[in-house]
Amino acid sequence: MPVTGSNSDAPYIGPDHQLARPRPWYRKLWFLLLCIFLLLLLIAVVMMVIHNSDVKAAAAKKAAAAAKLSVTATAATATKGNIGEYLEALGTVTPVYTSSITAQASGVLTAVNYVEGKLVHRGDSLIEIDPRPYQAQLMQAQGALEHDANVLAQATMDLDRYRESWAQNGIPKQLLDDQEKIVLQDQGTVKNDQGTVNYDQTQLSYCHITAPITGRVGLRLVDPGNVVQAGSDTVLAVITQVQPTTVIFTMAEDSLGQVRARMKLVHTLPVDAMDRSQATKIATGKLFTIDNQIDTTTGTVKLRALFDNRDDVLYPNQFVNTRLLVNTLEGVTLIPTAAVQHNGQTTFVYVIASGLASVRNITTGVADGGMTAVEGIDPGEIVATSSFDKLQTGSKVTVSKQAPTSPTVSSAP
């Protein structure tokens, strides 16, 4: 018979009369740790709920305070208007004509008549070369021409006599034929002499150098007393046409189709020349022509714009920023560019209605002259243009000064 007792530490004897193992002690430890972990997790959840409640309460309190606090800001009214779509590029002022004058006659310079840096007109005297050697050559040629012309005249008179005599059977036909050929020979001699005279007159004219174009002459490169040689590479003066002038700029080949299509419609496109900061317009011209080839190394094509340059504000080889008007967007909503704000990938503005500010996400388009075309705003709505660090949804706004809202209207020709 199995023996039983009240001692709890005694091993348990099962029905199969075998002794059972006592429960391990580490199971109790794991159970205790699990309880502690669940308690800590519960405490963390409670703390998080309390923290979120505090944050929401603080945000609500801050929003309420902001709503009570009035923010002073400038504002502008969204308008409906037209705005130009431009292609911008860097250009170089390139004169239509640039004349580098060299000597076509050899000799000593006797006078330099131009004043460096001044405007000269076509036909104005620039430089004088000693003409005396060429005058002497011309006189010799004229003397030979005069002599041979008289010889021709005498031969012509003899021919007339021979024709009268032959008509009366006074001379043989051979004598008349010989005289006719003599007259032709003398005519050839006279033509040769006339050519020599013309050549010497041309050489003499090269001694008097005049301006071939109207333009601004450069610095003086020669002085009286210098000896020049015909056909040398020595430049005596440089004249650059300044009115009108052109600007050559480059454009990506991807935009070529848009420009050509627009030119087929309106035949020409306005081009603005801007200063280095692109803040001031220097001059306005028109697109003159497009180069006939695309530069394969850069993927660009050259364009030439023509400017009247009546105020002489464009200087040869000057670098300018160009803006080519390729399209005009009509009837779009315009707001000042200063009102547009960015937050990562989001573009927004602060709309002011009933004295309260609210955030409105927008989509921006073309910008020009301080104005931007946008979507998401209706004409007539008021947007803030300053104090963005203080504004938020629900803020009371006091408009101190309403910014100008006149749109930049750019119309294609």
Tally Cβ neighbours within 10 Å of residue 17. 7
pTM above 0.75, yes or no: no
Question: d(Cα 324, Cα 272) in Å, to the nearest integer?
Answer: 7
Tell which residue, 221, 320, 235, 222, has the closest CA to residue 279. Answer: 320
Contacts of 3 (CB under 8 A, 6+ apart): none
Q: SS3 for 156?
A: helix
Query: Taking the domains of the chain in order of start, what are their residue ranges?
Result: 26-63, 71-81+331-402, 86-96+241-329, 99-239
Residue 23's pLDDT is 55
Point out which residues pair with 352 in neighbouring strands.
357, 382
CATH number for the domain running over 71-81+331-402 = 2.40.420.20
Q: Residue written as tokens 């199995």? A: 2
Question: d(Cα 267, Cα 153) in Å, to the nearest integer?
Answer: 63
Residue 53's pLDDT is 75
**CATH class belonging to 99-239:** mainly beta
Residue 59's pLDDT is 66
Tell whether the torsion through CA atoms of 276, 278, 281 and 287 is positive or negative: positive
Tell which residue, 124, 125, 144, 141, has the closest CA to residue 133. Answer: 141
Secondary element (H or E) of residue 86: strand 79-95
pLDDT in tens, 161-194: 989 898 888 888 898 899 899 999 999 999 999 9
Question: d(Cα 348, Cα 362) in Å, to the nearest integer?
Answer: 5
Q: What is the torsion angle, in degrees rounded to the nearest 10, for the CA atoms of residue 210, residue 233, residue 246 and residue 126?
A: -20
Residues of the chain scoring pLDDT < 50:
1-20, 404-413
Q: SS3 for 293?
A: strand
pLDDT in tens, 385-412: 888 888 888 888 888 865 544 444 444 4
CB-CB contact of 377 with 78 (8 Å) = yes
pLDDT in tens, 106-153: 999 999 999 999 999 999 999 999 999 999 999 999 999 999 999 999
Task: Work out the mean pLDDT of the chain and round it to a whole number.
Answer: 85
Residue 297's pLDDT is 92
Topology, domain 86-96+241-329:
Elongation Factor Tu (Ef-tu); domain 3 (2.40.30)
Task: Establish whether the linkage from the previous residue to 407 is cis, with ω within 30° of 0.
Answer: no
Q: SS3 for 112?
A: strand
Residue 321 corresponds to which tokens in the numbers above?
A: 């920023």
Tell which residue, 250, 295, 287, 307, has the closest CA to residue 96. Answer: 307
CA 373 to chain centroid, in Å, comes to 22
Residue 13's pLDDT is 46
Tell which residue, 184, 128, 131, has the closest CA to residue 159. Answer: 184
